[in-house]
Amino acid sequence: MTASEDLKLERQRTRVERRRDMVRSFLLFVLVPTALSLIYLLVIAPPEYTASASFTVRGAKQAPPDLLGLAGLAAPTDTSTDARIVSDYIRSTAMVQALRQKAGFNEAYSRFSLDPAAQIGSHAAIETATNFWRHKVKVTTEINSGATTFSVRAYRPADALRLAQGVLAATEQTVNSLSTRPMGNLQQVNLDEVARAKAEFETVKQRLTEFQGSTAVIPSAAPVTAALNLVGGIDTQLAALRAEHATMLQTFQPDSPQAKAVESKIAALEAERARAVGRALSAPGETLANSEVEARALLLDYEFAQRNYHTAVSALETSRRDSRADTKYVVAYVPPEAPEKSNYFPRLVNVLAVFFAASLLWAVGALSFSVLKEHLR
């Protein structure tokens, strides 16, 4: 056998070995992962049923028009804020606790399965259960409209429906508490203030009644007011007479009868004014003065307590109106329904995804290995 024939056989043997290595690597890195994913989805992983619902948060108070929303921009409105709060709540530990208590969370996900990742113990820690739940629920929110859509995956149609209904009920209860809790606290404060103001008003009213029953003094400002009104009228007349006297002096002499007559009227009015001022400032007897002062103090206390009571009642009514206006509720415009089909066959598309991804990685690796091998030669 010649040297050329030996070289030809050696090259042919090398090509055969290279093809054999390529096939082996293809089987190992492409077909084996694809077969494992197929076996996992067909045999091990249990099929899942999905129940979904859509809802929005509405309130009795009408929101102002969102000008930024009309322009296509997301503005931080009350609706968008409520939607974000609801989205976080659905995926939270509080939701898992509520579902454990009322929606059969443990019964839905603690059943035996060949796939250990598809189940969770009924006594698992709340953090572990929350992480498991976040893989089973999906929440999407439309910021502009405030609409929220969620879907729950479980291994039985009844479990999926029950969990979805539990999510909706727990969300509605939480949304209601967002407004009723602070307004309820405010109403309780106002109720306490009304009770305190009413008790104070009744006490002062009783004191005033007892004082009026035992004393003849009636708190009134009528005498003083009448005296002050009289002084005001005299001052008006004096101003008119002084103006008339000044005008008269432009025509008559100061000692003329006309000027003297006007001066006598002015003197008489000034004397009367002095007497009226004296009556207004004159103090009654000591006992009467003390009774008058006490009566006026009681009357002021009565008016002040009455005003405080009316103010407290008005504040209570205002808080009740605000409570009714701020009440929010959940409107489920797409209620959850029991699913009829599982994802058993649709999820087999993932096998193709695994095949193509593994093929791509294998091709890149094989090309890189071939280039490196030729470079080393």
> 293-319, pLDDT tens digit by residue?
566 667 777 777 777 777 777 777 776
Q: What is the spatial distance between Cα 361 and Cα 26, in angstroms, rounded to a whole number?
A: 10
3-state secondary structure labels for all residues of the chain: CCHHHHHHHHHHHHHHHHHHHHHHHHHHHHHHHHHHHHHHHHHHCCCCEEEEEEEEEEECCCCCCCHHHHCCCCCCCHHHHHHHHHHHHHCCHHHHHHHHHHCCHHHHHCCCCCCHHHCCCCCCCHHHHHHHHHCCEEEEECCCCCEEEEEEEECCHHHHHHHHHHHHHHHHHHHHHHHHHHHHHHHHHHHHHHHHHHHHHHHHHHHHHHHHHHCCCCCCCHHHHHHHHHHHHHHHHHHHHHHHHHHHCCCCCCCCHHHHHHHHHHHHHHHHHHHHHHHHHCCCCHHHHHHHHHHHHHHHHHHHHHHHHHHHHHHHHHHHHHHHHHCEEEEEEECCCCCCCECCCHHHHHHHHHHHHHHHHHHHHHHHHHHHHHHHC
pLDDT score at 368: 85
pLDDT score at 73: 46
pLDDT score at 240: 73
pLDDT score at 264: 85
How many beta carbons lie within 10 A of that of residue 279, not counting itself? 15
pLDDT score at 186: 56
For the chain, residues with pLDDT lower than 70 are 1-3, 5-7, 59-80, 178-190, 212-232, 235, 243, 247, 250-251, 276-297, 319-327, 375-377
pLDDT score at 323: 58
How many beta carbons lie within 10 A of that of residue 130, not counting itself? 17
pLDDT score at 283: 45
